[in-house]
Amino acid sequence: MIEIASTRLSAAIDPHGAELSSLRDVAGRELMTDGDPAFWTGRAPLLFPIVGRLVGDRYRLDGRDYRLPQHGFARRRDFALIEQRADRATFRLQDDAETRAAYPFAFTLDATYRLDEATLWIEIAVTNRDSRDMPASFGFHPAFAWPLPYGHPRAAHRILFDAPEFSALRYIGEGGIAPDRRASPVAGRALPLSDDLFTADALIWDDLASRGLLYGAEDGPQLRIRFPDTGVLGLWTKPGARYVCVEPWWGIADPAGFDGEIWDKPGIQRLAPGETRRFAMDVTLLD
């Protein structure tokens, strides 16, 4: 683990996947998932070069089929540590023979974690180093402790969006994103959290008005989470688990039955040769 710290927070990042594995307050209380294997051992994987699952775990590029696992391969690869200071660290993943067999492009994926007082800043840079346009998606997938370690029960926790969220939600059906939508469970800006929300997998907003939210109990310490560069959001847990994932995405899973070229896949982005796109997320402990 690579550890960084500020006066208010400490964090540990695993070079395998460049995955944020721990975020603790000054008293050492853990703000991330406990990683209970009965539910899910992930903590905050980085999703690249796809978000979600492809139909049949395959995509088509220029008439040829390639295989990619759910959420891509970055979360299963070792990143190189290219910079470390007391309060920050940067990790890098580049293409190699193994990645090019599944994703035939030259790329760089940099992940920088920085602590400043009570805020964790995360910046992702995706660079197309190839000589042709590159299709890509990216997503954050951090799992925060539910309940947070401040004495409030799970039932007291809620999500408070920055803006009212009235749009209907997408959901994962048989074989991919279902063609219809479900009514939003948000009342104005507030979404009280309960296991019942997640019996059919994740809640997915693909027309999100907000670029930030509050998570926690209304009368206790909360996490202020911002994601200025991503317009799709997933919320997910497994009923009974001690975490809730707040997942800003730049992409989305395949629609059920999708059989087109990857360029026609909803949520796929086109990066020109030499182009870099950056995605930021920050988490502030408000106490």
What digits encode the pLDDT tens for the residues 175-224? 899 999 999 999 999 999 999 999 988 999 999 999 999 999 999 999 99
Predicted confidence at residue 201, as pLDDT, reads 87
Q: Which residue type, as a one-letter code, is found at position 74? A: A
- Asked if 273 contacts 287 with a C-beta cutoff of 8 angstroms, the reply is no
Calculate ∠ Cα 236-45-273, nearest 5°. Answer: 115
Predicted confidence at residue 174, as pLDDT, reads 86
Q: For residues 216 and 144, give the distance between their C-alpha atoms in angstroms, rounded to a whole number.
A: 10
Question: pLDDT tens digit string along 141-157?
Answer: 999 999 999 999 999 99
Predicted confidence at residue 120, as pLDDT, reads 98
Joined tokens for residue 231: 């317009």
Report the Cα 273 to chain-centroid distance in Å.
25
Bridge partners for 271 per DSSP: 134
Predicted confidence at residue 195, as pLDDT, reads 96
Q: For residues 287 and 284, give the distance between their C-alpha atoms in angstroms, rounded to a whole number.
A: 10
Predicted confidence at residue 76, as pLDDT, reads 96
Q: Which domains does the chain possess?
A: 2-286 (2.70.98.10)
Bridge partners for 61 per DSSP: 64
- Asked if 23 contacts 283 with a C-beta cutoff of 8 angstroms, the reply is yes
Predicted confidence at residue 105, as pLDDT, reads 98
Query: pTM to 2 decimals?
Result: 0.95
**Within the chain, which residues score under 50 in pLDDT?**
none
Residue 179: count of CB within 10 angstroms of its CB: 10
- Asked if 71 contacts 46 with a C-beta cutoff of 8 angstroms, the reply is no
Joined tokens for residue 95: 């293409």
DSSP letters along 75-125, please? GGSBPEEEEEETTEEEEEEE--HHHHHHS---EEEEEEEEEETTEEEEEEE
Calculate ∠ Cα 137-119-90, nearest 5°. Answer: 50
Joined tokens for residue 253: 């899973």
Q: For residues 209 and 214, give the distance between their C-alpha atoms in angstroms, rounded to a whole number.
A: 15
- Asked if 8 contacts 117 with a C-beta cutoff of 8 angstroms, the reply is yes
Question: What DSSP state is assigned to residue 254?
Answer: P
Roughly how many angstroms between the first and final C-alpha of the chain, as a whole number?
Answer: 27
Question: pLDDT tens digit string along 119-134?
Answer: 999 999 999 999 999 9
Scan for tokens 């190699």, then name that residue.
Answer: 96
